[in-house]
Structure 1
């Protein structure tokens, strides 16, 4: 591959040396599909709980909590090692293997007939999800030059949102379509998952052909043990309070995403069923309100990208935590997620969710040393998985015991706490420009 001296440009984004436009476009597609397929899996989960297992609505919060906990337990164990392994063998092979693994798991998951089988299927899916999400974050940190990092993150966020919207819109229509063709509700769901699995195979081919084969390491790390690479990432977080704040922020930012993708889908689906809709119609209605959240993120993305490249990125984390606190508390105290009065809360939620997710990864991308970036980003993702692990345990319990919006209230309160921590550190360490 020809090595560039100044870096090629793709629109307003200047890429690092050795990264081509094809590499960047492939990454944007991979970002599109990574979040899209994970959103699809979470969105369709209530369908399986209702149709395959016949779990009553007042028990689905606890079941969702179990599935989320075991899923994130696997993510917690694997996502940091995947990040460290990427520093040794490169990003592309792990990304490709992850998509193939996800495809196989999508065939297995809807075949479950017991809760135990469903949990095992979700854990199997988590292995592939850990691979693709860790590589998405690592490649995002690799490709842009520092002056373009915020805009690159924003464009990746747009790809994420488009992926979630596209797959939720498209795939939520399929069960009703198959049902109209004469298939049972159970088989309609299984056919929908099978189509998603085929898309994973196509994506694997695209990623294999399009991502860069280069590693950012200069080769000095190749013989180090993976545990040593992870240790270096932790040491860097201890030395740099900005990285430490990014990791703390990841704890709740990934939790934010889980609450929206898992508990919102469950809440909206149950609200539709409570209004007398059949399962296929309830899924479509839930999808329409989830799309409002995601479309808001897309509109907000370029605005947030400009902000990220013009303010201290730790200040951006403070702003993001403030917006997320408002959004999650507003949604949590809303009476229903599928009425017109909910739309303003959904818009604020979309802004807060997007801001929180991108602020942390932009900060850690700026602060992480190039030679151990995979390890630092792996640690960042590890913290995110640990956050989801904790929130999934609490969220399922308060969902059944208190109110469907309770997981959002819990997340909103945690956002407020991290807002105070980030602001305190920002005042202590002082200003740092967004471009080194």
Structure 2
């Protein structure tokens, strides 16, 4: 029976903290600040001229710092833990919001406060990606129990096979030196697996490594869908609850500066409360054992255990990778692992799309009203839209709200789709989101009349922004799901045949002398027995839980690069070429993502099909 809720290894409290703490508020405080920073400039500081330039400079400095801070926070989380980084991040956000409304000048006071907020916000947004794999990661005690059970089961089956064959071998004197191909002397890992499955029944196939990997990947995709939903809900929380606070306080008799300051104090206090909630709610997170603040001033070591043939457990300490090697390996994985590489590219497109919705849709609408003489506001200054052109502001808010609502509703859908197709090609939903984005952005960029409430072609604006919202959330959810699967080693490219590899070279051919009893058992022992096998190396190769913070940092870096490229180049083309230029750029980004998924995912599907056919022919 299909599960409605993803299968998690984290506790309910940890999952609740992740969704209602980290995911819900990761973007909520940023939306609040971006929408209210102009009131800090005009009402608290008292600057009435060049407001747009000041707000733009602060936003650009914010993105530049976040571009560097995201990978650094990710690296740091691999040492001190994702919970610690998230707590620090939300505390910094809370303190920065309080300090911002204490400023008396834009430079340097307000700039320093905005940079502080950027530093904390980078930690919060990066941890959304870094915590996701930990929600479905196996706990160490579960891994140890599984290894012991598998070793006991393997040895038990090997013993039964020998006991069943021994009487016939002793009774067949004439064939003592010429073993049959199907005898116990040619038991290999593949034949043992096939035999044990036949004896135990088809019901045991659900517990195979391949099935477990698919379950983990499906759970990651579904959880990513919930993360996208709560992230969108956080943006709506900021718009519906945080932003109206100054107006409520003004109605209670406070002045405009006092109302803005009080609102920032309250939102800053909420951020600190979220940090406390995360501190208690994310304790004992899977995969975070041994990480603490003390790791900053001591030499870190990675601990590994193995069991020898006599059952003795040995512990080995090896120096942990350096920060440089962690980020280097994370970047390299973008070129060597298709799940992580497509996840990075999806993050680049998703973050750029968020700017297209929140920044360029209002600018596009305002430019249309100014161009047609319906408004006298400056199309480069979003604050003028509210004051001088209520109709344009209403339309821009409606279009943006429709896009975000479509994204909110479709987030669980993309998570469900990613979980459903994980046994096939898990990249296809991302390609679908990219295709929808190409159509939506091209359609909006060519709009002659974005006024959806008036005009003959206005209804196309509604359709275009719905497509844009669906594409944005699809890129977010699918890229997060791909990263989670890549980190947990459950990439759809990896199949069960890669774990077992080929038959050992000690298999006996007709006419050869059989091996000893110890040789029969050796290929059946798991990696924990101390015998180095291909499966052990393959597990180390694909398990990247120690890199989840670094990978999350690179993912956020890619998203920040997309934002900077779109805002600077798209903004310049908006002024010099056409207001639709930023949307044409986003269409190009989505087209590149579409081609990448088609080439990489399609090529992998073809290779997997050929490999499967070759294995069937060899069998």
What's the TM-score, normalizing by structure 1? 0.84
Alpha carbons of structure 1 residues 70 and 329: separation in structure 2 relative to 1, 3 Å: farther
Matched, 1:133 2:246: no
Alpha carbons of structure 1 residues 284 and 99: separation in structure 2 relative to 1, 3 Å: farther
Matched residue, 1:384: 559
Cα distance in structure 2, aligned partners of 1:112 and 1:343: 42
Matched residue, 2:269: 198
Matched residue, 1:15: 8
Matched, 1:292 2:402: yes
Matched, 1:330 2:440: no
Cα distance in structure 2, aligned partners of 1:138 and 1:259: 25
- 1:108-149 deviations in whole A, cap 9, x for unaligned? 334464365544333221100111111111111220333311
Cα distance in structure 1, aligned partners of 2:330 and 2:385: 52
Q: Offset of 1:373 from its aligned partner? A: 2.2
Once the two structures are superposed, the pairs formed by residues 252-271 of structure 1 within 5 Å of their partners are 252-264=349-361
Q: Offset of 1:21 from its aligned partner? A: 0.3
1:324–1:355 contact (8 Å) kept in structure 2: no
Q: Which moved more, 1:423-432 or 1:46-55?
A: 46-55
- 1:41-60 deviations in whole A, cap 9, x for unaligned? 2233454566654356xx83
Matched residue, 2:466: 347
- 1:245-291 deviations in whole A, cap 9, x for unaligned? 32122222111123323444666789799598548978984555433
1:80–1:379 contact (8 Å) kept in structure 2: yes
Alpha carbons of structure 1 residues 113 and 293: separation in structure 2 relative to 1, 3 Å: farther
Q: Report the 3-state secondary structure (helix = DSSP H, G, I; strand = E; otherwise coil) of the residue aligned with 1:245.
A: helix
Matched residue, 1:120: 112
- 1:276-331 deviations in whole A, cap 9, x for unaligned? 85489789845554332222122112221221112322222211211222233333
Cα distance in structure 1, aligned partners of 2:249 and 2:18: 32
Matched, 1:75 2:172: no
Matched, 1:395 2:570: yes
Matched residue, 1:154: 225
1:68–1:392 contact (8 Å) kept in structure 2: no
Alpha carbons of structure 1 residues 373 and 114: separation in structure 2 relative to 1, 3 Å: closer
Alpha carbons of structure 1 residues 278 and 393: separation in structure 2 relative to 1, 3 Å: closer
Q: Which moved more, 1:311-320 or 1:75-84?
A: 311-320
Matched residue, 2:484: 365
Q: Offset of 1:351 from its aligned partner? A: 0.8
Query: Quick check: which one's helix share is greater?
Result: 1
2:362–2:393 contact (8 Å) kept in structure 1: no
1:78–1:127 contact (8 Å) kept in structure 2: yes
Q: Report the 3-state secondary structure (helix = DSSP H, G, I; strand = E; otherwise coil) of the residue aligned with 1:214.
A: coil
Matched residue, 1:409: 584
Q: Report the 3-state secondary structure (helix = DSSP H, G, I; strand = E; otherwise coil) of the residue aligned with 2:48.
A: coil
Matched, 1:249 2:329: no
Alpha carbons of structure 1 residues 171 and 395: separation in structure 2 relative to 1, 3 Å: farther
Q: Out of 68, 83, 105, which is 1:92 matched to?
A: 83
Cα distance in structure 1, aligned partners of 2:385 and 2:357: 24
Q: Which moved more, 1:158-167 or 1:242-251?
A: 242-251
Matched residue, 1:27: 18
1:327–1:349 contact (8 Å) kept in structure 2: yes
Cα distance in structure 1, aligned partners of 2:257 and 2:391: 15
Q: Report the 3-state secondary structure (helix = DSSP H, G, I; strand = E; otherwise coil) of the residue aligned with 2:420.
A: coil
1:39–1:261 contact (8 Å) kept in structure 2: no
1:65–1:393 contact (8 Å) kept in structure 2: no
Q: Which moved more, 1:154-163 or 1:309-318?
A: 309-318
Q: Which moved more, 1:316-325 or 1:220-229?
A: 220-229
Q: Offset of 1:201 from its aligned partner? A: 1.5
- 1:45-87 deviations in whole A, cap 9, x for unaligned? 454566654356xx83x65553333212211211112112212
1:43–1:262 contact (8 Å) kept in structure 2: no
Bigger CA radius of gyration = 2
Q: Report the 3-state secondary structure (helix = DSSP H, G, I; strand = E; otherwise coil) of the residue aligned with 1:216.
A: coil
Q: Offset of 1:210 from its aligned partner? A: 0.7
Q: Offset of 1:32 from its aligned partner? A: 0.7
1:173–1:284 contact (8 Å) kept in structure 2: no
Cα distance in structure 1, aligned partners of 2:599 and 2:569: 27
Give 5+ residue unaligned stretches, structure 2.
Answer: 137-215, 291-300, 303-318, 370-374, 378-383, 488-543, 610-619
Matched residue, 1:3: none
Matched residue, 1:38: 30
